Structure 1
Amino acid sequence: LAARDTLRLEAGMPLYGHELSLEIVPAQAGLGRSVAADKSDFVGRDALAAVVAADAPVLVGLVSEGKRAGRAGYAVLDADGPVGEITSGALSPTLGHPIAMAFVAPAVSAPGTELFIDVRGTRIPATVTTLPFYRRTA
């Protein structure tokens, strides 16, 4: 199970209960393209629009150095304090460094943004990156 979870994480694939749930709308998890909100009217359309308009947290990838990986539930911080929470994380055997997915405030979600992961009281520097972490070369 751990190997499967690491492969899923490297591929940037969300897992129900971590990056997907009844409280998370598709646009937050990077799956907004799967809901054609502009093409038809459907039950829940207004609720989806309200969540997106409210600056709800969005899913991002985080990469860091060393061997200490952020795990589900660990806080994500910027210089001023908490801005999000890790949903999945592991030391990537393929990439050779820690990777994680986290929901963070939209203001700090741009690729290249420097953040920190609180790993048991220690601030580990992390950089926001695009998902997936690993792309197969042709």
Structure 2
Amino acid sequence: WADLLVLARPLGGIPAGLGARDTLRLEMGYPLHGHELSLDITPVQARLGWAVGFDKPAFVGREALLAERAAGPTRVLRALRATGRGIPRAGLTVLRDGAPVGEVTSGTFSPTLKEGIALALLSPEVAIGSAVVVDVRGRALECEVVAPPLVRASTRD
């Protein structure tokens, strides 16, 4: 570790923890196993179907994933930007017109955007640009459904 730090410092490298990694992955809209991918969240729902070798003749779960892809997933991973003051956190319910339409899978404060951001599994009819509300312990946090990445590469140039 010490040798790595010595080599990294002249290049501007500094230690970063899991919190920094998590913020950066959320700003980019990258899923994390256990949050946006699991035995209950398929690659089709996580919008990672492109990474599945559907052309392979056989793999565990192939038929189920093909059927889900053909029928359309019952939920899809979307990004949220809080338009109100607050942070959408994992496990909170997402509502549209007062009805539940999904759940936040990961959320944090973005120091780059200076607002709360999140990834959420939502009903497929909740489109990019939709206004939704996250129920934060009984308080409505207004959010907009946006396309990732939430932070554009040019922001950091």
Deviation at 1:80, TM superposition (A): 4.0
Q: List, as ranges, runs of 4+ consecutive aligned residues in structure 1 with deviation greater than 6 Å.
A: none
* Residue 79 (structure 1) aligns with: 97
Deviation at 1:51, TM superposition (A): 2.9
Q: TM-score, normalised by structure 1?
A: 0.90
Deviation at 1:7, TM superposition (A): 1.2
Q: Which runs of 5+ in 2 are unaligned?
A: 1-17
Matches within 5 A, 1:55-134: 55-108=73-126, 110-134=127-151
Q: What amino acid is aligned across from residue 62 of structure 1 in structure 2?
A: L
CA distance in 1, matches of 2:73, 2:48: 16
CA distance in 1, matches of 2:81, 2:45: 19
Q: TM-score, normalised by structure 2?
A: 0.80
Contact 2:131/2:145 (8 A) holds in 1:
yes
Deviation at 1:73, TM superposition (A): 0.1
Deviations 1:72-123 (A, max 9, x none): 0000001141110000111100111111000001011x11011110011011
* Residue 9 (structure 1) aligns with: 26
Please give the root-mean-square deviation of Cα atoms over the aligned residues, in Å. Answer: 1.5
Structure whose residues are more often helix by fraction: 2
CA distance in 2, matches of 1:80, 1:93: 30
Mark the CA change 1:121 to 1:23 in structure 2 (over 3 Å): closer, same or farther: same
Larger Rg: 2
CA distance in 1, matches of 2:143, 2:57: 40
Identity of aligned residues (%): 48
Tell me the SS of whatever aligns to 2:125.
Answer: helix
CA distance in 2, matches of 1:11, 1:27: 19
